[in-house]
Amino acid sequence: MTPTATLFHPFETGEIELPTKEQRTLFLGPEPGLRMPAGFAGELVLANGFRPSFMALRQAGFDVRPSAEGDGYDLVLVRVSRHRGQNELWVAEALRRSAVGALTVIAGGKEDGIASLRKRIDGLTPLEGSASKYHGVVFWLRRPGDANAIAAMLDHANAASLIDGRFRAAPGMFSHDRIDAASRLLAGHLPVDLTGAAADFCAGWGYLAAKLLERCPGIASVDLFEADHASLEAARENLADAAVPAGFHWTDLASEPMERRFDVIVMNPPFHQGRAADPGIGLAMIRAASSALRPNGRLFMVANRGLPYEQALAAGFKQSGELVRDGGFKVLWARR
């Protein structure tokens, strides 16, 4: 069973009343495949900034947004992630956007740190109830009179990091408090003679794109493609002073068609889906890069040393090879 099943458990047992058709519900972090409990009525707004999940939920007919919108909700649901800071920020979001006296219901798996989150929130405001079910925990609370002060405290404890004195990133984003070692390795070995239109696939909060422009004066434009909406918005801020035209695209590169063509693509694709290693993500990014490069266009990517990407590069490009490796990562190149 999933954390969503844990979240809905108190509604199914009657410990929490189902919302009526006059009430409004906000759901932070819903999963694809969502099925609401029988009898769950009223307006339902979902917020999920991960593009594949967003697209799946929208296709299922839900009203889904990349980030939370609106206020005065009668009920807020929170399905926690594996990022502690992001979970606390979601609770702050729930408190700010709920109506006076409204209920916020929070659930997650034990491996997601739900027990420590429950203790943390209970230390800030009394909980109304709690239960364990399906290898997870659900707890709920009423919006207190000092909700905005508690939300501000949670926001402050999980403020965005300033990295290298210039990049801002927030909890929940990949490598939100430091430059990822793999990205640093790739950035330091990009050829300085790269020119033309460039793209950063899986751009995160913009580090590689910024370093590409810094290292390669011949780059005429850069387009950033990222599936996480919050990360892309951070990248937009981090590259606000770019000396060349910069585009920002909230995209699932594995499933959405690419219309643009580029001379250069750089990327540090994720190799985990949740906690499980998934080399298929990187393979999908290689296929997308092959389709998006112009003839003789060049790809530079970094990957964990153990991931088997060389065969895919050889199949999709006329030339490919390894540029450098260190104790954990390798930089691969290919020419279309």
**What pTM was computed for the model?**
0.93
Whole-angstrom Cα distance, residue 95 to residue 148?
Answer: 7
Whole-number pLDDT of residue 306: 87
pLDDT at 6 over 60: yes
**Mean pLDDT computed over every residue of the chain:** 94
Sign of CA dihedral 122, 229, 76, 7: negative
pLDDT, mean of residues 181-185: 97
State the greatest distance between any 2 C-alpha atoms of the chain, in Å, as a whole number.
Answer: 66
Q: pLDDT digits over 267-292, tens only?
A: 999 875 545 556 788 899 999 999 99
pLDDT at 42 over 70: yes
The yes-or-no answer to whether 3-157 and 164-335 have a common fold is yes
Whole-number pLDDT of residue 273: 53
Q: pLDDT digits over 12-35, tens only?
A: 999 999 999 999 999 999 999 999
**CB within 8 A of 12, min separation 6: which ones?**
37
Whole-number pLDDT of residue 277: 54
1 or 161, which is more confident:
161
Indicate the SS3 state at residue 274. coil
Whole-angstrom Cα distance, residue 67 to residue 260?
Answer: 27
Q: Which fold has domain 164-335?
A: Rossmann fold (3.40.50)
Q: Using an 8 Å Cβ cutoff, are 216 and 186 in contact? A: no
User: Token pair of 260, please?
Assistant: 């643009």
206 or 306, which is more confident:
206
Q: pLDDT digits over 94-124, tens only?
A: 999 999 999 999 999 988 899 999 999 999 9
CATH of region 3-157: 3.40.50.150
pLDDT at 2 over 60: yes
Reported as a pLDDT band with limits 50, 70 and 90, residue 76 is very high
Whole-angstrom Cα distance, residue 179 to residue 306?
Answer: 21
269-277, long-range: CB < 8 A, 24+ apart: 269/201, 269/202, 269/301, 269/303, 270/174, 270/202, 271/303, 271/304, 271/307, 274/82, 275/82, 275/111
Q: Using an 8 Å Cβ cutoff, are 206 and 235 in contact? A: yes
Residue 225 vs residues 25, 68, 240: alpha-carbon distances, Å: 31, 22, 16
Percent share of the chain, pLDDT over 90: 91
Residue 91 vs residues 71, 72, 84, 96, 175: alpha-carbon distances, Å: 14, 15, 11, 9, 22
* Structural domain boundaries in the chain: 3-157, 164-335
